[in-house]
Amino acid sequence: MRIRAQVAMVMNLDKCIGCHTCSVTCKQTWTNRDGTEYVWFNNVETKPGIGYPKHYEDQDRWHGGWQLDDKGRLKLRSGGRLKRLSRLFVNPDLPTIDDYYEPATFDKDILVNAPAGLKDTPVKQPRSALTGEPMAVTWGANWEDSLGGAHEHAAGDPNIARMPAEAAAQVKFEFEKTFLFHLPRICEHCLNPACVSACPSGAMYKREEDGIVLVDQDRCRGWRMCVSACPYKKVYVNHTTGKAEKCTLCFPRIEAGQPTICSETCVGRLRYLGIVFYDEDAVLAAASVADEHDLLEAQRAVFLDPTDPAVREAARAAGMPQDWLDAAERSPVWRLISEYKVALPLHPEYRTLPMVWYIPPLSPVLDAVGGAGRDDADADAVFHTIRELRIPVEYLAELFTAGDVEAVAGVLMKLAAMRSYMRARTLDGTVAEDLLDGIGMTGDQVEAMYRLLAIAKYDERY
């Protein structure tokens, strides 16, 4: 066992309001400068949708992440070292600016300084922030917001293509069938980062002390293999410096004991930051399990229980200070991933062992508009079953469990059971342990989880 610590994040998508405050505060602080106009270390996508950059989840197109070879060995999907070297100068797996979007800017001071005698009020026209030429705005960092244009584009969402045919056929871009949720994304700071492995210059590395994945700006030679290899497309090219840049997990803040900007400014209060311990020696095996449905459990198994005396002893032996041990023990991320098991990794099938996990969203029932029958007489039975939800469980499964529907459904059932349990507590003060049958949690655990998800004080989130 080789114990390591990782600063990890959980986002509760069930609370995400899609406001993009995280994106704006991140961009204002880190990437509002020449060369990074199109870069959003943090972005928020509307799902279903093709995302930013377009279709980034389609690894048949981009060859990001890892796969198992014929012998069951883990290898980069972008090919072996030789293949990658041969493509140093022509990389067909590199997104173009159009796959992101051409950033626009607007005429300078025409409103204030318009000359006299115009026929009409002055107006600011869009111009390319890259070339300065007039342009038409045809795509953006968040073009699909709130399902804008979804009936034209979103069928190309790779997650729909991967769904079982019967379920995919139920996804229709019609008013009555509408569903949506938001997916905020930063760098996953993976335990098994494809970008680091793909870098020919050794410029990318995973920080020893906290697992943050960084690009050494001095060493980067701009080969851009990292951009291709990252299946989440969270490494960007600064077109002014020619070097790769990415989310740094706000390391200057982390080092000062402050949460990342995207976390602290998250108005939905849905982000949790914490330390998890893991066994570095177990990473390769976990990333290499044959059945994609086993990846979730395999990855959970890599994490070490910070309350386990043996783990703590190992951590001390590895030189971790006491306050890191304490932080790991009270880590909300650990609790959500490993204790309550309500957080799931994004696309575990990429085999990078991502370290930003997500609690999947509930949603209204599908029959609300149609008003299909249920027992209307019992006014106390106010909640629906999770099988009636508008967001297809199969869709969520493609995002978070490599298609394992039961695993996602299990999480949603926990959230639903928590709500019913707490409704009884709130309305009548009664303890309805029977509601917890089938989710494998005790009343105390549910109430503790409720406090973490609902009351979610600042000190509990970070």
Partner 1 sequence: MLAARRFLRRETVGDHGRTLHQVKDGDWDQFYRDRWRYDRVVRSTHGVNCTGSCSWNVFVKDGLITWEHQATDYPTTGPDSPEYEPRGCPRGASFSWYEYSPSRVRHPYVRGVLAEMFRDGLQRLGDPVAAWADIVENPLKARAYKSQRGRGGFVRASWDEVTTMVAAAHVYTTKTYGPDRVVGFSPIPAMSMASFAAGTRYHALLGGTLLSFYDWYADLPIASPQIWGDQTDVPEAGDWWNATYLMMWGSNIPVTRTPDAHFLTEARYRGTKVVAVSPDYADNVKFADDWLAPHPGTDGALAMAMGHVVLTEFFRDRTVPYFTDYVRRYTDLPFLVTLRQTTSGRWATDRFLTASDLGEEDGAHKTVLVDERTGEPVVPNGSLGFRYGEAGEGRWNLDLGDVLPALGLLDLSDEAVEIDLARFDVGDTEGGATIRRGVPVIRVGEHLVTSVFDLVMAQYGVRRGDLPGEWPTGYDDPESPNTPAWQERITGVPAPLAARIGREFARNAERSKGRSLIVLGAGANQWFHSDMTYRSFISLVTLTGCQGVNGGGWAHYVGQEKARPITGQQHMSFALDWQRPMRHQASTPFWYLHTDQWRYERVPADELSSPLGTGRFSGMAFADTVAAAQRMGWSPGHPAFNRNPLDLTDEAAVAGVSVQEHIVAELKAGRLRPMAEDPDDPANFPRCLTLWRANLLGSSGKGNEYFLRHLLGIDSAATAQECDPQHRPRDLVWRDEAPTGKLDLLTAIDFRMTNTGLHADVVLPTATWYEKHDISTTDMHPFVHAFSPAVEPPGDAHSDYDTFLALADRVSELAASHLGVRRDVLAAPLQHDTPDELAMPSGRVRDWKAGECEPVPGSTMPKLIEIERDYTQIGAKMRAVGLLLDKLGTNTKALTVDVTAELDYLRHQNGVVTDGPFAGRPSLATADRMCEAILALSGTTNGRVAAAGFEALEKRTGQPFADLIAGHESDRITYPDTQRAPQPVFTSPEWSGSEKGGRRYSPFTLNVERLKPWHTITGRQHFFVEHDWVAELGEQLPAFRPPLNMARHFGAPGELVDGGVTVRFLTPHAKWSIHSMYHDNELMLALSRGGPVIWISVPDAAKVGVRDNDWIEAHNRNGVIVARAVVSHRMPEGTVFQYHSPERTVNVPKAEKSGRRGGYHNSLTRLLVKPTHLAGGHAQLTYAFNYYGPIGSQRDEITVIRRRDQEVEY
Region 291-310 residues binding partner 1, contact defined as CB under 8 A: none
What would the DSSP string read from start to end of 59-83? HHHH--SEEE-TTS-EEETT--HHH
Q: Which residue, 226 or 409, has its beta carbon nearer to partner 1? A: 226
Shortest gap between Cβ of 327 and partner 1 (angstroms)? 4
| Residue whose tokens read 């549910």 | 446
Q: With binding defined as CB under 8 A, does residue 143 bind partner 1?
A: yes
Kindly write out the interface string for residues 205-244 of this chain, putting x where it contacts partner 1 by CB under 8 A and - elsewhere. Answer: xxxxxx---x-xxxx-------------------------
Q: Using CB under 8 A, which of the segments 18-26, 80-88, 299-307, 335-343 binds partner 1?
A: 18-26
Q: Do 70 and 171 touch, CB atoms closer than 8 A?
A: no
Q: Do 360 and 336 touch, CB atoms closer than 8 A?
A: no
Helix (H, G, I), strand (E, B) or coil at 5: strand
Encoded amino acid at 14, one letter: D
Nearest to 209 by CA among 275, 157, 161: 275
Q: With binding defined as CB under 8 A, does residue 82 bind partner 1?
A: no
Q: Which residue, 430 or 442, has its beta carbon nearer to partner 1? A: 430
Question: What are 359's two structure tokens?
Answer: 């609690």
Q: Which of 34, 169, 383, 385 is close enough to bind partner 1 by CB under 8 A?
A: 383
For 6, other C-beta atoms within 10 Å of its C-beta total: 25
CA-CA distance, 422 to 432, in Å (whole number)? 9
| Residue whose tokens read 């300078």 | 108
Q: With binding defined as CB under 8 A, does residue 395 bind partner 1?
A: no
Shortest gap between Cβ of 398 and partner 1 (angstroms)? 19
Q: With binding defined as CB under 8 A, does residue 410 bind partner 1?
A: no
Please classify residue 189 by burial: count the beta carbons closer than 10 Å to its beta carbon, then call 0-12 exposed, 13-18 middle and 19+ buried: buried
Q: Which residue, 118 or 310, has its beta carbon nearer to partner 1? A: 118
Encoded amino acid at 347, one letter: H
Q: Using CB under 8 A, which of the segments 138-146, 156-164, 222-230, 393-401 binds partner 1?
A: 138-146
Q: Using CB under 8 A, which of the segments 55-63, 78-86, 100-108, 162-170 binds partner 1?
A: 100-108
Q: Using CB under 8 A, which of the segments 90-98, 309-317, 339-347, 453-461 binds partner 1?
A: 453-461
Q: Do 285 and 351 touch, CB atoms closer than 8 A?
A: no
Q: With binding defined as CB under 8 A, does residue 29 bind partner 1?
A: yes
Q: Which of residues 321-350 bind partner 1 (CB under 8 A)?
A: 321, 323-324, 326-327
Q: With binding defined as CB under 8 A, does residue 18 bind partner 1?
A: yes
Q: With binding defined as CB under 8 A, does residue 48 bind partner 1?
A: no
Write out the H or E segment, with its range, that includes residue 286: helix 283-287
Inter-residue long-range contacts of 335-340, CB under 8 Å, 24+ positions, other chains counted: 335/449, 335/452, 336/10, 336/272, 336/452, 337/8, 337/10, 337/276, 337/300, 337/303, 338/276, 338/300, 338/303, 338/305, 339/445, 340/414, 340/441, 340/445, 340/449
CA-CA distance, 151 to 254, in Å (whole number)? 41
Q: Using CB under 8 A, which of the segments 246-254, 296-304, 309-317, 393-401 binds partner 1?
A: 246-254
Q: With binding defined as CB under 8 A, does residue 104 bind partner 1?
A: yes
Q: With binding defined as CB under 8 A, does residue 112 bind partner 1?
A: yes
CA-CA distance, 99 to 396, in Å (whole number)? 24
Q: Which residue, 205 or 305, has its beta carbon nearer to partner 1? A: 205
Q: Which of 73, 81, 83, 151 is close enough to bind partner 1 by CB under 8 A?
A: 151
Q: Using CB under 8 A, which of the segments 159-167, 257-265, 296-304, 404-412 binds partner 1?
A: 257-265
Q: With binding defined as CB under 8 A, does residue 196 bind partner 1?
A: yes
Q: With binding defined as CB under 8 A, does residue 7 bind partner 1?
A: yes
Q: Which of 82, 90, 116, 290 is close enough to bind partner 1 by CB under 8 A?
A: 116
Q: Which of 61, 67, 68, 74 is close enough to bind partner 1 by CB under 8 A?
A: 74
Q: Which of 120, 166, 291, 437 is close enough to bind partner 1 by CB under 8 A?
A: 120
Alpha-carbon separation of residue 358 from 15, 348, 415, 457 (angstroms): 11, 12, 13, 19
Q: With binding defined as CB under 8 A, does residue 430 bind partner 1?
A: no
What pairs with residue 183 in β-bridges?
45
Q: With binding defined as CB under 8 A, does residue 167 bind partner 1?
A: no
Helix (H, G, I), strand (E, B) or coil at 275: strand
Q: Which residue, 345 or 403, has its beta carbon nearer to partner 1? A: 345
Q: With binding defined as CB under 8 A, does residue 49 bind partner 1?
A: no
